[in-house]
């Protein structure tokens, strides 16, 4: 056991001794007991490979197709428009790279996205540039919301895709997807063309915003099981009928040829159950958490006049609070809060892997000085008023020092 191991074990031990408050639901959510119950039969009872011919396989196949129907219902889509994948990240890759690869030999495809997307979109776009495609990155306004007109003005004859997240993972701002989709649809009709398509990464929106594709008008939509109280390792991509994209993983031809690999039956069943519950609880949970969010914002801003809210105060997810604490290092606050028993985040979980911890989202909205000085608090199903009070108490102790 080396020093690093000892430090880690000390950190883990601290979990046993202290009250813990988890306020980082945007990074991932626990699996609901009802979801686990739904998954359970498919681990070692109904475990068959759905591609086989015998009765056990038919049971597995039926479970998958029932799940597909359940998911389609939440999206207001057709069952055959729902594709199960291994994660939200994979779904984004499939949507964007898959469409690019389909068109790449026909002309030089152009894609429009925003500067505040998750790495699962931004890194795909960078790969597309390496593969010879063109990408336009549109920055949002200072409130963290992109202008539909800005996006629309960048469309060219070669634009195959506009991909804009439904809600931002760091600052929770909700993007005008329906408006963008409407402008695009109008243009397609006028020009009598099927392009560009519109894709949205709805990973952060799954619990709180309507996912009805008839309302939003999107052509492709990404969800992730691990963000909606379902299992990790399973995602979903909605692809509107008639749209052709290439697979990014090749093999046995599962998911109607778009995503090969033996189907993760328990994962798919769990995903559908989680999404169904998220849909059922959407209004009540959004209302409950909005009150908590607004309370927390008010109380945090009251600690010091220097503190500012990052992102629009109204057009944001009900569970997201992101504040700039000038003069403090966000990561330092996260680590101090951790020692006091509170789990929060500086920026997103994914950002911590690849860069210095400075937020590309805050830079994009012109708050360069806040890029390393902000913290994200995200609420969830198990968050209580007591948790908020405890959080505020801890935060005040750190800021007072």
Q: Within 252-291, which residues bind a second copy (CB under 8 A)?
A: 252-254, 260-267
Binding mask 103-122 for a second copy (x = CB under 8 A): ---------------xxx--
Count residues binding a second copy (CB under 8 A): 83
Taking alpha carbons only, the member of 188, 101, 126 closest to residue 152 is 188
| Binding flag, residue 308, a second copy (CB under 8 A) | no
Q: How far is the CB of 62 from a second copy (least distance, A)?
A: 6
Q: How far is the CB of 258 from a second copy (least distance, A)?
A: 12
Q: How far is the CB of 283 from a second copy (least distance, A)?
A: 24
Q: Which residue has the tokens 């330092």?
A: 332
- Sequence-separated contacts (24+) of 386-393 with Cβ below 8 Å: 387/21, 387/23, 388/292, 388/295, 388/296, 388/299, 390/19, 390/21, 390/341, 390/342, 391/21, 391/23, 391/296, 391/337, 391/342, 391/344, 392/296, 392/299, 392/300
Cβ(102)–Cβ(194) below 8 Å: no
Integer Cα distance of 279 and 41 in angstroms: 23
| Binding flag, residue 312, a second copy (CB under 8 A) | no
Cβ(360)–Cβ(265) below 8 Å: no
Q: Is 350 one of the catalytic residues?
A: yes
Contact segment (CB under 8 A) with a second copy among 319-327, 345-353, 366-374, 388-396 equals 345-353
Choose, by CB under 8 A, the member of 123, 134, 281, 369 that binds a second copy. 123
The smaller minimum CB distance to a second copy, of residues 340 and 392, is found at: 340
Q: Which residue has the tokens 């969830």?
A: 380
Binding mask 13-32 for a second copy (x = CB under 8 A): -xx----x-x-x--xxxxxx
Tokens in use for 181? 């989709």
Q: Which of 324, 350, 370, 394 is catalytic?
A: 350
Q: Looking at residues 63 to 102 of the shown chain, list those that interact with a second copy (rule: CB under 8 A).
A: 86-90, 92-93, 97
Choose, by CB under 8 A, the member of 337, 361, 362, 365 that binds a second copy. 337
| Binding flag, residue 133, a second copy (CB under 8 A) | no
Tokens in use for 14? 């601290």
Taking alpha carbons only, the member of 139, 331, 120 closest to residue 227 is 120
| Binding flag, residue 207, a second copy (CB under 8 A) | no
Catalytic annotation, residues: 350
């Amino acid at each position: 056991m080396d020093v690093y191991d000892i430090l880690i074990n000390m950190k883990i031990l601290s979990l046993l001794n202290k009250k813990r408050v988890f306020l980082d639901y945007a990074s991932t959510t626990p699996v609901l007991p009802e979801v686990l119950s739904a998954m359970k039969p498919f681990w070692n009872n109904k475990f068959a490979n759905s591609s086989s011919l015998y009765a056990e396989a038919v049971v597995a196949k039926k479970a998958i197709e029932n799940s597909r129907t359940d998911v389609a219902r939440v999206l207001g889509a057709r069952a055959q428009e729902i594709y199960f994948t291994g994660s939200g990240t994979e779904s984004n890759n499939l949507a964007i790279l898959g469409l690019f690869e389909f068109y790449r030999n026909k002309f030089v495809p152009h894609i429009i996205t925003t500067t505040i997307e998750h790495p699962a979109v931004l890194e795909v776009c960078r790969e597309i540039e390496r593969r010879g495609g063109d990408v336009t990155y549109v920055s949002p306004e200072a409130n963290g919301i992109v202008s539909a007109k800005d996006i629309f003005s960048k469309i060219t004859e070669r634009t195959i895709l506009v991909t804009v997240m439904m809600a931002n993972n760091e600052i929770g701002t909700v993007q005008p997807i329906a408006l963008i989709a409407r402008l695009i649809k109008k243009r397609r009709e006028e020009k009598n063309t099927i392009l560009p398509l519109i894709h949205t990464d709805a990973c952060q929106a799954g619990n709180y915003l309507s996912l009805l594709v008839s309302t939003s008008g999107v052509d492709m939509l990404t969800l992730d099981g691990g963000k909606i109280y379902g299992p990790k390792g399973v995602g979903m991509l909605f692809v509107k009928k008639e749209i052709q994209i290439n697979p990014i993983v090749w093999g046995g031809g599962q998911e109607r040829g778009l995503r090969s690999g033996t189907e993760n039956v328990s994962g798919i069943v769990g995903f559908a159950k989680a999404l169904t519950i998220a849909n059922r609880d959407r209004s009540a949970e959004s209302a409950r958490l909005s009150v908590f969010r607004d309370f927390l914002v008010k109380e945090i801003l009251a600690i010091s006049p220097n503190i500012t809210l990052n992102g629009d105060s109204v057009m944001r997810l009900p569970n997201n609070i992101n504040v700039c604490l000038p003069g403090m290092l966000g990561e330092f606050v996260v680590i101090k809060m951790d020692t006091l028993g509170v789990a929060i985040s500086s920026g997103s979980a994914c950002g911590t892997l690849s860069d210095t911890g400075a937020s590309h989202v805050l830079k994009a909205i012109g708050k360069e000085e806040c890029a390393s000085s902000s913290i994200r608090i995200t609420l969830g199903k198990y968050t209580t008023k007591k948790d908020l009070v405890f959080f505020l108490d801890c935060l005040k102790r750190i800021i007072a020092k």
